Structure 1
Amino acid sequence: MPLENKRLSEISKRIENDDEKAFREIFDLFYFDLLAFSRPIVADEQAAEDVVENVFLRLWQNRKTLGNINNLSAYLYTATKYASINYLKARKNTCDVAIEELDDRSLYNFSTPESSMIGKENVLSIERAINQLPPKSKLVFYLVKEKGLNCREVAKILNTSVRTVETQLYHSLKKIASLLEESQVIQPRRSTR
């Protein structure tokens, strides 16, 4: 079990035992990421905040069943996705929402501890390369590379096949590498012929 999943599992157990401090840890860890995830679906900042807060409210209300959840991160993203879609359905804005149809109203934050060690100019080049990806590819990249979900979990969240997620991730990484080569952030790959 990866360290992050082990840590989340330990925090989940504490929440199951009514530990409000542990719940606050989960809230602080995921709130802004889930907000960024919900925002392009509901297309409204306040609605996204309401959706995410309701997801956390339901998490606390159902805390005694947290032991049944294998991956809290995947669970929270899935719950946020469905809560966002249910918000839209309740507002009669749509009957069915496909991730492909969402516009790119929000840019995901791709800063990591490693990015603080990379030159500012290179970080901007990397962020530009990531932001040039199509919205669904960017979301797949974000969930896999930034949030640490595996392709199976991302496929479940996005209602698509694991192979589709793997293919999108492969093409995204290839495109990012190509853009970074063009901007001379990384050295061109040598041909193996």
Structure 2
Amino acid sequence: MENTRLSEISKRIENDDENAFREIFDLFYFDLIAFSRQIIADGQASEDIVENVFIRLWQNRKTLGNINNLSAYLYTAVKYASINYLKARKNISDVSIDDLDDRGLYSFTTPESSMIGKEEVLTIENAINQLPPKSKLVFYLVKEKGLNCREVAKILNSSVRTVETQLYHSLKKIAAVLEENQVILPRRSSR
């Protein structure tokens, strides 16, 4: 959803419009749960985290005008809430996205996937799941959720260049696996 549309909805929420809040909730709820699950690998806890983020959003709705990008704000809030959940659960004080293990599995479900055979879809999912956790998050946010590299960098507290590099290497690794499994034709070397 474009930022101008989200800004309009944010203004309506700021003016106590429950229907606008429901619209944002419906738009982001399941994506944010999937994002949180990439971090903590616990479906029920992810639902609780996302619901708490939305509760805080409603409670602080009068300050929504200070938020430039609601989508990036929600992903960032869920990221920190998920990390705080891990800190509390592990009774540690410092958790980083880089420290997370590779428990979250990526699921490749798009309209295009219905046109691809099951084996190819599994190969693509396996290729994505072989990525390191942070690379998988970058891939998910950029390719599945449509965020740009600048937004993802803000969410993950990384530089834009780091996000671009991770995305480039992720796509290269995925392409190599797909070539190896003959899902795509090998690239010809340019001479």
TM-score range relative to shorter protein: 0.7 to 0.9
Structure 1 Cα separation of the partners of residues 108 and 11 of structure 2: 29
Kindly state the Cα deviation for residue 40 of structure 1 after the two structures are TM-superposed: 4.8
Q: CA deviation at 1:65?
A: 2.2
Among 159, 166, 170, the residue aligned to 1:161: 159
Q: Which runs of 5+ in 1 are unaligned?
A: none
Structure 1: how far apart are the matches of 2:90 and 2:173? 37
| CA displacement 1:16-72 (0-9 Å, x = unmatched) | 232222222222222222222223544544332222111000111122222322221
Q: Contact 2:37/2:46 (CA < 8 Å) preserved in 1?
A: yes
Question: Which residue of structure 2 lines up, in the alignment, with residue 117 of structure 1?
Answer: 115
Q: Does structure 1 conserve the Cα–Cα contact (< 8 Å) formed by 2:38 and 2:105?
A: no
Indicate conservation of the 8 Å contact 2:40/2:46, yes or no: yes
Secondary structure of the structure 2 residue equivalent to 1:155: helix
Seq. identity, %: 85
The DSSP-based 3-state class of the residue aligned with 1:170 is helix
* 28-37 or 52-61, larger mean C-alpha shift: 28-37
**Within the alignment, does 1:65 sit opposite 2:66 as a pair?**
no
Pick aligned residue for 1:81 from 67, 79, 100: 79
User: 1:27 corresponds to which residue?
Assistant: 25
Specify the SS of the correspondent of 2:2: helix
Aligned counterparts, 1:1-193, within 5 A: 4-91=2-89, 93-193=91-191
Moved more, 147-156 or 19-28: 19-28
Residues 81-135 of structure 1 show CA distances to partners (whole Å, capped at 9, x for unaligned) of 1122233444562101111211122223331222223333322222121112111
The code of the aligned residue for 2:174 comes to I
* Kept after mapping to 1: 8 A contact 2:6/2:70: yes
Residues 38 and 137 in structure 2, CA contact (< 8 A), matched pair in contact too: no
Structure 1 residue 75: Cα displacement: 0.6
Aligned pair in 2 of structure 1 residues 4, 123: CA closer, same or farther (>3 Å)? farther
CA RMSD of aligned residues (A): 2.1
Q: Give aligned pairs, total.
A: 191
Q: Deviation of residue 162 (structure 1)?
A: 1.6
Q: Secondary structure at the match of 1:176?
A: helix
Gap runs ≥5 in structure 2: none
CA distance in 1 between partners of 2:74 and 2:175 (Å): 30
Counterpart Cα distance in 2 of 1:136 and 1:42: 13
TM-score by length of 2: 0.88
Query: If the length of structure 1 is used for normalisation, what is the TM-score?
Result: 0.87
Kept in 1: contact 2:108–2:121 (CA 8 A): no
What is the identity, as a one-letter code, of the residue corresponding to 2:92? T
